[in-house]
Amino acid sequence: MTDSELIMLAEKAMENAYAPYSKFKVGAALLCTDGKVFTGCNIENSSFGATNCAERTAIFKAVSEGCRSFEAIAIVSSGGGETYPCGICRQVMGEFAPNLRIILKNSEGKLTQYKFMDIMPNFFSLN
């Protein structure tokens, strides 16, 4: 699975985004170390706090299917530019995958990758 392929799967997942309130659609594709891919989209709610981000949708799908070892996540949005994961999603990433690679696409179509620990150092854990 190449980074470009993972981005394409995130773009496909974004088509299912349910974002009637913000109109901001997000898609994510999570690559597990065993090669499986889980995708996710944001799912909003009229009680705004009940909204689930695309990244957490993908991670929770994977964990609920028994996958907890992750290599990379691709994230795209209807905003067009690089869409960084929110703080809550970063905290969830840290729980399972502090070595995660985060693949983003900018408005010119160029891919950039970030190491999770570079964008979320010292995340909370019970240690």
Active site amino acids: 55
AA identity, residue 86: C
Among 7, 9, 32, 44, binds ligand THU (CB under 6 A): 44
AA identity, residue 64: S
Among 7, 9, 26, 76, binds ligand THU (CB under 6 A): 26
Q: Does 94 bind ligand THU (CB under 6 A)?
A: no
Q: Does 29 bind ligand THU (CB under 6 A)?
A: no
Among 30, 32, 54, 72, binds ligand THU (CB under 6 A): 54
Q: Does 89 bind ligand THU (CB under 6 A)?
A: yes
Among 30, 31, 53, 93, binds ligand THU (CB under 6 A): 53
**Close Cβ partners of 59 (under 8 Å, ≥ 6 residues apart):** 30, 38, 40, 70, 73, 89, 92, 93, 96
Site string for ligand THU, 95-124 (x = CB under 6 A): ------------------------------
**Close Cβ partners of 53 (under 8 Å, ≥ 6 residues apart):** 26, 42, 85, 86, 88, 89
Coil, helix or strand at residue 76? strand
